[in-house]
Amino acid sequence: MSTALAVFVVQQEFSDSAWKKSAPVIVGEQGATIYLGQDESENLRKVQKAGRQLDNLGVSSAKLSGEGWDFERQWAFANGYTDTRSTNKLEWASNSEALTQTRNVVNWTRELVNLPPMDIYPEALAQRVAEKLESLAPEKVSSRVIKGDELLQEGWMGIHTVGRASKRPPCMLVVDYNPTGNADAEIDTVLVGKGITFDSGGYSLKSSEGMLAMKCDMGGAATVAGALGLAIEQGLQKRVQLVLCCAENLVDGSAYLLGDIITYKNGLTVEVVNTDAEGRLVLADGLQYAGEVGAKRVIDAATLTGAAQVAVGNEYNALFSVDDELANKALSTAAAQRENLWRLPLQPWHKENTPSAFADCANSRPQKGGGTGGASNAAGFLLRFAPNDGKGWLHFDIAGAYHNSANAMWATGATALGVRTIAALLQD
C-alpha cells in the first residue's frame, strides 16, 4: 500500500472558506488538490509553487493522481517538489519513462552544481562528466582530459592562466559522442561549458558573502553536460562534442595579475583588467577548439555575468547571438520546453567595448561589473573567438541556474534551467 500523498489537479476555482484563494495547494483528507484556471502559463507556475509548498510542509513522498496531469504539469510539480538534496520521492501519473529519464539527468546536473568545492574540483568535474556520459552510451562516447602544463603544450592559454594558482591543476575535458561509427563524421555541434569549480575572484578578490556560492561557477559546464546526457538518453543521432573548460580561480604567488597579457592560440592578445572576469578567458579556449574541429553549430553556457542576472533576474536565462535565425530557433525551443529564455543585445561592435591600449582587447572594463552593458560586452569579448564571426553560435548566460536561498518556485541551489532547451536544440 502506497504511503505517498495523493496530489490532484482540478480545473476550477475552489470555494473552501478555510483556505486563502492565493494558496497554491489545498490539503484535505483525500490528499492535496491544486485548483487551476484558464491561463496555462499561470497554471504551471501554480503547480510548481504547490510542489514547493508541499516540500516545505515536510511531505517526503507524493503521487500525482487523477486526470489532468500532462507532461508539463508533472514536470512543473517536480521542479517545485525537488528539495536541495533531491531526496523527495515522486510517482508520476503518466509519461513515467520520459519524466523519470529527464528527472534523473536534471537531478544529476543539480547535484554537480550543489557539491562542495572540496569534492568538485577541475579533474573531479571532468571525471564525473566523462564517466556519466560514457555510461549512457559506452560504445559511442570517448573522452580525453588535457591537464596542467599539457594545456600550454596544446595552446590552451586561457584555462591554464586562470587555473595555474591552484594546487589542483586546470584541465580541458573533450567528450566525443559519435553515434555514426565513422571517425570522419561531421561534427554537428560543439557544446562549451564554463567549469570554474571555485571562484575567489583572484586578485580582484570577492567579498566573503560574494564568494560563498562560488561553487556554482561551474554551472555552465554542468548544464551543457546534462543537456548532452539528456539528448543521448532521448536517442540523439548526431555527432556532438562537449568541451569543458575547468579551473579554480585562486590566489597565490603564481596567480595571474592585473595588467598581465595573455596571447591566445589564434594570436589575439588580451590584457587582464579584472581577474574576476575569468569565465570568458577560459571559454575563449573552448570556442577556438570548436572552430578547429569545424563544428556546424557552437553552443556555450556559463554563469558569466552578474549583469545578466540584473537584467533578467533569477527566473530567466539570457541568450546572446549575432545569428538571428539560430537565436529565434533557440527562443522558440525554450518556449516549447517551458524554460524561460530572453535575448539580450549583441552586435559585432560589442567586440570593441573592452578596449586596451596594451593588447588587442581587455577582458573587461576596469569598472564595477564591467560597466554599463556588462553582459553584452562580455558576449562581445567571446564573439572575438567564436568561429565564423558568430554564425551558428549561441551564448547562454545562465542567470537562473542557481539560487542562494529558496523561494516560492525553487529550492536553494541549482535549478538546471537550460538543460531541456539545449538538449532539444541538439535534436533539431
Neighbours of 108 (CB within 10 A): 20
pLDDT digit string, tens, across residues 124-168: 999 999 999 999 999 999 999 999 999 999 999 999 999 999 999
**Residue 2's pLDDT band (boundaries 50, 70, 90)?**
low
Determine the pLDDT at residue 345.
98
pLDDT digit string, tens, across residues 183-230: 999 999 999 999 999 999 999 999 999 999 999 999 999 999 999 999
Determine the pLDDT at residue 22.
83
Return the minimum-mean-pLDDT range out of 178-182, 390-394, 398-402.
398-402
Determine the pLDDT at residue 17.
67
Determine the pLDDT at residue 311.
96
Q: Could you say which of 280, 351, 365, 420 is catalytic? A: 280
Which amino acid type is present at position 423? A
**Residue 1's pLDDT band (boundaries 50, 70, 90)?**
very low
- Is residue 19 predicted with pLDDT exceeding 90? no
The percentage of the chain sitting over the pLDDT mark of 90, rounded to a whole number, equals 93
Q: Could you say which of 45, 140, 206, 343 is catalytic? A: 206
* Cβ atoms of 403 and 305 closer than 8 Å: no
**Residue 400's pLDDT band (boundaries 50, 70, 90)?**
confident
Show the cell assigned to 34. 491544486
Show the cell assigned to 419. 538543460
Domains (range + CATH), the chain: 5-94 (3.40.220.10), 107-427 (3.40.630.10)
**Residue 368's pLDDT band (boundaries 50, 70, 90)?**
confident
Report, as an integer, the average pLDDT of 287-304.
98
Which amino acid type is present at position 310? V
Q: Is 206 a catalytic residue?
A: yes
3-state secondary structure of 387: helix
Report, as an integer, the average pLDDT of 70-86.
97
pLDDT digit string, tens, across residues 90-126: 999 999 999 999 999 999 999 999 999 999 999 999 9
Determine the pLDDT at residue 272.
98
Q: Which segments within 202-306 are labelled E, that is strand? A: 240-249, 261-263, 269-271, 297-302
Average pLDDT, rounded, for the chain: 96
Give the burial string for 294-310 (b: 16+ CB within 10 Å, else e): ebbbbbbbbbbbbbbbe
Determine the pLDDT at residue 16.
64
Give the burial string for 386-425 (b: 16+ CB within 10 Å, else e): bbeebebbbbbbbbbbbbeeeeebbbebbbbbbbbbbbbb
The CA–CA distances, whole Å, from 240 to 133, 216, 232, 293 equal 12, 25, 10, 11
Determine the pLDDT at residue 367.
84
Report, as an integer, the average pLDDT of 59-72.
97
